[in-house]
């Protein structure tokens, strides 16, 4: 099997399985297995791959045909221009969430302390600290296995942060200038309708936001002021249709300068609030 035939084989298998972007995924899997770049492929496309590589590639294609997310097979995902390790214990970082990081970077100043709730892979906190290194950062998550991934990513990017296992604020004892969160926000009844890559493989406890998707926002809004320094900010990622509801929760909790910020697709993506 040549490199070109391998991509054609992978594309057909993934197309038959109803996998989106079949040709692109087939290429990425070949790139992972053979450790080659596009330039090499274009020049050497008619050369044979090794038998071992062919077997490994066929196994990888079969996994993707079962709708296992490409990122879990490859083991990484790009976010804010950085490569983050991912596995089945953490949500796959998404471009939408870059809006959260970008907004926080607009207001942080040297010496500030930042907290990232529901940190998962650590991509939000690590991206903030990598771009604003004179901060002190803490990431928390209820999942012990997720924190292991976050710690590995922090080491990979040479970022110094504290990692705490906590159900929201349960084990948090400090106060912060900025608190960020990308909590579970999908309504329970909508999870079964998600694409299989998400529904069947990403951790449900990082997706399920309760009956209306707002359970975690209610908890955060009700407690966050106790952990926020005077004049501190809260930034939370939200679902595309949750801007009004989460803004109301923040205003009712006494926050000022409450604002809904849209992502590049012009969907509501982040709610910001300022403490007293």
DSSP string, 51-93: HHHHHHHHHHHHHHHTT--HHHHHTEEEETTEEEE--TTSPPP
The reply, when asked if residue 185 is annotated as ligand binding, is yes
Q: What is the pLDDT of residues 129-163, one digit of tens each?
A: 999 989 999 999 999 999 999 999 999 999 999 99
Q: What is the pLDDT of residues 159-192, one digit of tens each?
A: 999 999 999 999 999 999 999 999 999 999 999 9
pLDDT of amino acid 214: 98
pLDDT of amino acid 3: 97
Which structure tokens are listed for 165?
Answer: 């296992």
pLDDT of amino acid 152: 98
Query: What count of Cα atoms within 13 Å lies in the side-chain half-sphere of residue 115?
Result: 26
Task: For residue 276, name the pLDDT band (cuts at 50, 70, 90).
Answer: confident
Q: What is the pLDDT of residues 249-266, one digit of tens each?
A: 999 999 999 999 999 999
Q: What is the pLDDT of residues 180-189, one digit of tens each?
A: 999 999 999 9
pLDDT of amino acid 251: 97
Task: For residue 51, name the pLDDT band (cuts at 50, 70, 90).
Answer: very high
141: β partners: 165
Is pLDDT of 5 > 90? yes
pLDDT of amino acid 146: 98
pLDDT of amino acid 133: 87
| Neighbour tally for 62: CB within 10 Å | 14
pLDDT of amino acid 89: 97
Task: For residue 45, name the pLDDT band (cuts at 50, 70, 90).
Answer: very high
pLDDT mean across residues, the chain: 97
pLDDT of amino acid 112: 98
3-state DSSP: the chain helix, strand, coil percent, rounded to 5?
Answer: 45, 20, 35
Phi, psi at residue 18, to the nearest 5°? Answer: 75, 25
Residue 3 CB contacts under 8 Å (≥ 6 apart), including other chains: 30, 34, 36, 41, 44, 45, 46, 47, 49
For residues 5-10, give the mean pLDDT.
97
The reply, when asked if residue 141 is annotated as ligand binding, is yes
The reply, when asked if residue 184 is annotated as ligand binding, is yes
Q: What is the pLDDT of residues 207-248, one digit of tens each?
A: 999 999 999 999 999 999 999 999 999 999 999 999 999 999
* Alpha-carbon dihedral sign for residues 13, 15, 16, 20: positive
The three-class DSSP label of residue 15 is helix
pTM value? 0.94
| CA dist list (Å): 33 to 58, 74, 88 | 10, 9, 20
pLDDT of amino acid 164: 98
């Amino acid at each position: 099997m040549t490199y070109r035939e391998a991509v054609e084989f992978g594309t057909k298998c993934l197309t038959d399985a109803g996998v989106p972007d079949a040709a692109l995924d087939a290429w990425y899997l070949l790139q992972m297995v053979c450790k080659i770049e596009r330039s090499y492929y274009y020049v050497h496309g008619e050369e044979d791959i090794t038998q071992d590589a062919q077997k490994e590639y066929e196994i990888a294609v079969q996994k993707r045909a079962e709708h296992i997310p490409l990122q879990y097979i490859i083991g990484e995902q790009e976010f804010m221009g950085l490569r983050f390790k991912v596995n089945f214990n953490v949500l796959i970082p998404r471009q939408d969430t870059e809006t959260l990081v970008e907004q926080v970077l607009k207001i942080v100043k040297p010496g500030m302390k930042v907290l990232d709730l529901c940190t998962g892979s650590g991509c939000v906190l690590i991206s903030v600290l990598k771009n604003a290194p004179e901060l002190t950062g803490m990431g928390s998550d209820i999942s012990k296995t997720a924190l292991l991934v976050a710690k590995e990513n922090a080491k990979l990017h040479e970022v110094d942060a504290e990692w705490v296992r906590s159900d929201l604020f349960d084990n948090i004892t400090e106060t912060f200038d900025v608190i960020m969160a990308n909590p579970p926000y999908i309504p329970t009844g909508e999870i079964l309708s998600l694409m299989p890559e998400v529904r069947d493989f990403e951790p449900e406890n990082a997706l399920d936001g309760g009956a209306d998707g707002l359970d975690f926002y209610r908890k955060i809004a009700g407690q966050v002021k106790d952990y926020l320094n005077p004049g501190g900010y809260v930034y939370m990622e939200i679902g595309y249709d949750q801007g009004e509801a989460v803004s109301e929760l923040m205003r009712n909790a006494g926050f000022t300068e409450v604002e809904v910020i849209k992502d590049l697709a012009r969907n509501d993506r982040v709610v910001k609030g300022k403490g007293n």
